[in-house]
Amino acid sequence: MSDHFLQMNNITKRFPGVLALSNVSFNLRRGEVHALLGENGAGKSTLMKILSGVYRPDEGEIIFEGNKVKFDSPLDAQKLGITIIHQEFNLFPDLTVEENIYIGREFCKNNRWRLDVPAQRASVKEILAKLNLKIKPETRVSDLTVAQQQMVEIAKAISVNAKVLVMDEPTAALTESEIDSLFRVTRLLKEQGTGVVYISHRLEELALIADRATVMRDGQYIDTVDYETVQISDLITKMVGRKLGDIYPRRPPFTADKKVLEVKNLQRKGVLHDINFSLHQGEVLGLSGLMGAGRTELARALFGADPIDSGEIWLNGELTKIGDVHQAIEKGIGYLTEDRKKEGLALGLSVELNIMLGNFPEYSDKFGIVKEKQCEETSQKLVNALRIKTPHLQQAALNLSGGNQQKIIIARWVCKDTDILIFDEPTRGIDVGAKLEIYELMNRLVAKGKSIIMISSELPEILGMCDRILVMRSGHIAGELNQANASQESIMKYATLED
């Protein structure tokens, strides 16, 4: 077919113990945005890593602009105009924004050994402006937020004038306005004829940008559909291979009784102001608000990760000082951070060790000897409950798909038997089927008498899962809603109203 300027035919890829791709075909047109969908571990990233020269296929071929191509490295693919923004960032934290964008392709003067700094900087500024990014070219990447780093990745991809641009979950860490600029730029690229492959688990968002979608499941090609006419529910069925029930599983109505946590007049200069609220046993308390409203900052303060200037924290009716993270954990508070990379998945260690990490004291006998069998049983149970896709418990975490790596960290906290769990964006980057499992897990936890604070940017999730919702704005609690009077509108009203 002539309008398919890129075709991947019958691609198969095996890793030890895993058939990651089995006879998968995929095509891309000039100037389209093509969504690549599938559950965690379906093979999306692997297929795109083959397209961009990171991996070589075991079988199959790639035809690009009419020619059969073979890539030995990402550079080979880049030379032909195929670029990828990986799910895991690839920036050098110690270099500046402009150095990262033009690394290996620095602007040089006629004399090849002299950098043309002004020309390069001008070009970087132009790209940053296109993206509406208010970052200086000379900023060190390690000083940027996760979202800004993501935008630098995008800037880098744009700078090479890609014919094919692959974005692997580009919006997972972006704010609303950043997503807007990303979409604006994506449309610009489309108009210029760039073919964009877009991997995301956010199906509603894809409706705004995708022309077609290809669905994968368990390393196999399932179907390609037009986004305009497809029903989201059909897409989900194709992805998970079964009909999903209610995505927000019900639990018995919650009756407030025992307060496990009370926060009084909590302050952190310039960050948190006059925070007052309580959390009951068996409750799921939602923390909503726009990005930057102070939700993560509040979580970090409760967890002892940041100091507070004044205010009181009461745990089970007792005034408590939480000086640092260790004390928080000791007192039964767990925090699943939004930045799960930093939180320390030990990539080289096995799935089992990663789940048990930090949990060994509870799994040792009085001589300090680890009860191996029990560790194995517990981690296997969690792997099953969360449907972590791995050939066995001894697989290195490194070899798991992005979403499955996140599930390991959730498993680690669940295993710890903590009374108060703070979940910060627990389902970000996680597929629909697994989301349901995480919600069910949360329900089981509160049924056992645990309490949960859930931070989420997805309003349907907050509305579907929480007994009560606190809405934050500019570092304070702007409003409280209960299940009966909460709606997307009422949350947004509190989240955006000016004081």
Ligand X SMILES: Nc1ncnc2c1ncn2[C@@H]1O[C@H](COP(=O)(O)OP(=O)(O)OP(=O)(O)O)[C@@H](O)[C@H]1O
Q: Please choose, out of 82-90, 328-336, 389-397, 489-497, the segment that lies near Mg ion by the rule CB under 5 A.
A: 82-90
Q: Which of residues 431-470 bind ligand X (CB under 6 A)?
A: none
> If binding is defined by CB under 6 A, does position 15 make contact with ligand X?
yes
Maximum alpha-carbon separation in the chain? 76
Query: Could you tell which of Mg ion, ligand X, none binds residue 475, using a CB distance below 5 to 8 A set by kind?
Result: none
∠ at Cα 65 (59, 71), nearest 5°? 40
| Residue sitting closest to Mg ion (CB) | 45
* Phi/psi at 287 (5° precision): -120, 105
Q: Which of 43, 57, 137, 334 binds ligand X (CB under 6 A)?
A: 43
C-alpha–C-alpha distance, residues 206 and 190, integer Å = 15
Q: For residue 438, what are the CA distances in angstroms to 51, 324, 401? A: 32, 28, 17
* Smaller CB separation from Mg ion, 43 or 137: 43
> Per-residue x/- mask for Mg ion, residues 423 to 462, rule CB under 5 A?
----------------------------------------
Residue with tokens 């309580």: 278
Nearer to ligand X, 39 or 467 (CB): 39
Q: Are 230 and 215 in contact (CB under 8 A)?
A: no
Specify the residue, 21 or 453, whose C-beta has the smaller distance to Mg ion.
21
Find the part of the chain contacting Mg ion (CB under 5 A) among 40-48, 75-83, 182-190, 367-375. 40-48
If one asks whether residue 404 binds ligand X (CB under 6 A), the answer comes out as yes
Q: Rounded to an integer, what distance in angstroms lies between the CA atom of residue 409 and that of residue 379?
A: 12
In the window 395-414, what residues touch Mg ion (CB under 5 A)?
401-402
400 is an interface residue for ligand X by CB under 6 A: yes
Answer for which of 389, 428, 450, 476 binds ligand X (CB under 6 A) is: 389
Applying CB under 5 A, does 294 fall inside the site for Mg ion? Answer: no
Between strands 67-69 and 59-64, the pairing is antiparallel
Q: How far is the CB of 347 from ligand X (least distance, A)?
A: 11
Interface size with Mg ion, residues (CB under 5 A): 4
Taking the C-alpha atoms of residue 181 and residue 346, their distance in angstroms, rounded to an integer, is: 34
Four-CA torsion 375, 376, 377, 378, nearest 10 degrees: 50
* Listed ranges 80-88, 121-129, 374-382, 466-474: which one lies at the site for Mg ion (CB under 5 A): 80-88
Q: Shortest approach of Mg ion to residue 402 CB, angstroms?
A: 4
- Taking the complex as a whole, the smallest distance from the CB of residue 147 to ligand X amounts, in Å, to 19
Q: Choose the contact partner of 100 out of Mg ion, ligand X, none; CB within 5 to 8 A by kind.
A: none
Q: Which of residues 68-87 bind ligand X (CB under 6 A)?
A: 87
Residue whose tokens read 């909460």: 486
Contact residue for ligand X among 399, 457, 483, 490 (CB under 6 A): 399
Q: Which two tokens stand for residue 480?
A: 């409280």
The CB-nearest residue to ligand X is 403
By CB under 5 A, residue 45 contacts Mg ion: yes
For ligand X, which residue of 8, 18, 162, 469 counts as binding (CB under 6 A)?
18
Which 86-105 residues touch ligand X, going by CB under 6 A? 87
Out of 289, 294, 304, 402, which residue is the one contacting ligand X (CB under 6 A)? 402
150 touches which of Mg ion, ligand X, none (CB within 5 to 8 A by kind)? none
- State which residue, 331 or 389, has the beta carbon closest to ligand X: 389
Contact with ligand X (CB under 6 A): which of 8, 11, 34, 44? 44
Binding window for ligand X (CB under 6 A); candidates: 62-70, 206-214, 279-287, 402-410: 402-410
Interface with ligand X, residue 38, by CB under 6 A: yes
Is residue 45 a contact residue for ligand X (CB under 6 A)? Answer: yes
* Closest to ligand X by CB, 165 or 302: 165
The residues binding ligand X (CB under 6 A) are 15, 18, 20, 38, 40-46, 87, 389, 399-404
